Chain A
Amino acid sequence: MRPENYEAQRHPPSNEFELNFGPNHPGIEGNYALKVKLHGDVVVEAKADGGYLHRGFEKLMEQRLWIQNIALVPRICVPDPSPMEVCYAMAVEELCGLEVPQRAQWLRVMQLELSRIAAHLFTFGGHAATTGMYSTMYWGVADRDLILDLFEEFTGGRVYSIYNIPGGVRRELPDGFLQRISETLDYIESRLPDYDNLFFKNQVFVKRAKGTGVMSQEQALAWGVTGPNLRATGLAFDVRRDDPYLVYDQLDFEIPTEAHGDAWSRTLVRRLELVESIRILRQVVAALPDIAGPIRAPIPNPLAWNVPAGEVYTRVESSKGELCYFVVSDGGPKPYRVHVRGPSSMHAVQVLEKMSVGSRIEDIAQTMFSLDACPPEVDR
């Protein structure tokens, strides 16, 4: 984060010094930077500096057809792309009044929960690496790869699946896929005690994470914090339960919460969510053979598709928090305006700036990873 034209800045003499933290820094999640003012090794002021990953999504989407945007939206959040396409597809369906077939809704739930497990495993890996425990990172990324294999099998893409279209999903499950998904779930569940011993009960991690980056419930609500970070402050709010979409109201799952709102609680909430996601997936696997029917509602010619005028706001629970789309249509072949309300823009900018103050320089990376901020989604 060097200044643009490299003019040396003269500051009055002081005991504070500035440190440019990122974008080329292993403690930063992705391509993101912080400008930190330090007194000794205590942070006095932190300033977020984004925009390294800005691609102008909201403008790009206005220039493409409704159906083309499906391929574009997963790119907004790279570690957890599935909720993006589901949320956008839901918005278009609501504008058109399309009824999504029951089987497609179950398949979407399966995709979303698989994506949640993959994203959480990836976050643990990154978080463990910031505290110097690289084994957890190696394990987490390797286990996430098993889920990516499942994605590849039933959607065709490892990371960006582009499985949804407005009106349903693109393809039927391959033969014997439910068996394979059960085996992978069994394996990941059998690995969880190992993760506990290696990472979650590890005193190196526990002592560093407890009391780091604390926020109270009032602060969290005032700052617009959602998702696991909000649940770590004790408020059991989850869009899946409180504003159910797809078939989440037919599923049985719990909302894990923790009380303290520090890095430790946030990580623990994600760890408990893994169990719940596995539980949801087991129910989906048990229910899917009995749900027959089409996977796609008929849509008009997608290349000449004028979506009725109107505006709509849809939201889903991604692994990072509450993800919303505000879509406006003027009745034309392209969206008039799309606004993405991503969870990470709150977490990585205001919350991180405020929570870093008073912590030590080595805890910034940990705070950022415990917030699970996703820089591509901040910049969009």
Chain B
Amino acid sequence: MNSINKIPVIEEKRTNPLARVFDEFVRFCRSRSLFILHYCTGCGAIELPPAMTSRFDMERLGIQPMVSPRQADILLITGYVSIKTLKRVILTYEQMGSPKYVIGICSCTVNGGMYWQSYATAKKLDEYMPVDLYIAGCMPRPEAVLAGLQKLMDRIHSGEANSWEDYFRNYDYYLGNQQKLFGENWQTPTDIITEAKHYDLIGEGTLGKHTQILEQHQKPLEALDMRLGHDLKEPTE
């Protein structure tokens, strides 16, 4: 089943001598226009309004909040994620268009933080999705958040921030951890394996025993018949 087992080298395909210049330019532009998904998962979100508004002013770096995951570039995990939230976070992450970046803010995303013994929170974020950058602290100051975002911009510019490829290449590992936490019939409506094929990012860890379990449980999503059509009757009583 592991047929497309190759790691692509993008440079080989590029024949244009200006390709490197274009790539550099694209990375520059990408790093200067970032949209943060507006999802406050935990306490760290309280330091984001100061970072965004007049005093620290994130917008001067070209970073703005964005309300929909489809148009966002950065997923900020601001603090602890309870198990219920983590499901939504994973669903949101899979909906975001690539390239996408994840920043774990607060100590809780690193190792559980204050809630290391809590029954309700997921302790290590990078078991469930690849993380580009951690900003430790409980909670980190707006300056630290800004410094972290600038670091991310540098990494995007130099081409190092490609953790999103890791999610496709090692999907089996992340899915396994998710299944361990949520149960074996865990599934999301997004199809990561097809997407990995689309990006040509099928790696050795993309398919495995956990994706086999997923295939057994996965039901194709039916399109709901949303029309209020002929069969809609007025209440007769």
**A54-B114 contact given A8-B224, A376-B43, CB 8 Å threshold:** no
Instruction: Specify which chain A residues have a CB less than 8 angstroms from the CB of B177 in the assembled complex.
Output: none
**A63-B117 contact given A6-B221, A24-B39, A79-B46, CB 8 Å threshold:** yes
Instruction: Specify which chain B residues have a CB less than 8 angstroms from the CB of A376 in the assembled complex.
Output: 42-43
Shortest Cβ gap from A321 to chain B (Å) = 19
A141 contacts B53, C-beta separation under 8 Å: yes
Q: Is residue A139 within 8 Å, beta carbon to beta carbon, of the partner chain?
A: yes
**A55-B118 contact given A23-B39, A23-B85, CB 8 Å threshold:** yes
Interface residue tally for chain A (C-beta within 8 Å): 45
Shortest Cβ gap from B195 to chain A (Å) = 17
Q: Is residue B88 within 8 Å, beta carbon to beta carbon, of the partner chain?
A: yes
Choice from A2, A55, A71, A75 contacting B120 with Cβ under 8 Å: A55
Interface residue stretch chosen among A25-33, A184-192, A289-297, A307-315: A25-33
Other contacts beyond A30-B45, A31-B85: 6, CB < 8 A? A2-B88, A15-B228, A53-B82, A54-B84, A78-B43, A142-B53
List 15 A–B pairs whose Cβ atoms lie within 8 Å, in order of A's numbering.
A1-B88, A4-B87, A5-B185, A6-B187, A6-B188, A6-B221, A13-B233, A25-B67, A54-B84, A55-B118, A55-B121, A75-B43, A125-B49, A158-B141, A159-B139
Interface residue tally for chain B (C-beta within 8 Å): 49
Shortest Cβ gap from A22 to chain B (Å) = 10
Residue of A nearest to B139 (CB): A159
Shortest Cβ gap from B87 to chain A (Å) = 7
* Alpha-carbon gap, A15 to B227, bound state (A): 11
A24 contacts B88, C-beta separation under 8 Å: yes
Residue of B nearest to A10 (CB): B224
B residues at A contact (CB < 8 Å): 37-43, 45-47, 49-50, 53-55, 65, 67, 69, 80, 82, 84-85, 87-88, 91-92, 114-115, 117-121, 138-139, 141, 185-189, 219, 221-222, 224, 228, 231-233
B91 contacts A2, C-beta separation under 8 Å: yes
B37 contacts A60, C-beta separation under 8 Å: no
Instruction: Specify which chain A residues have a CB less than 8 angstroms from the CB of B139 in the assembled complex.
Output: 159-160
* Alpha-carbon gap, A78 to B91, bound state (A): 26
Instruction: Specify which chain A residues have a CB less than 8 angstroms from the CB of B186 in the assembled complex.
Output: 5
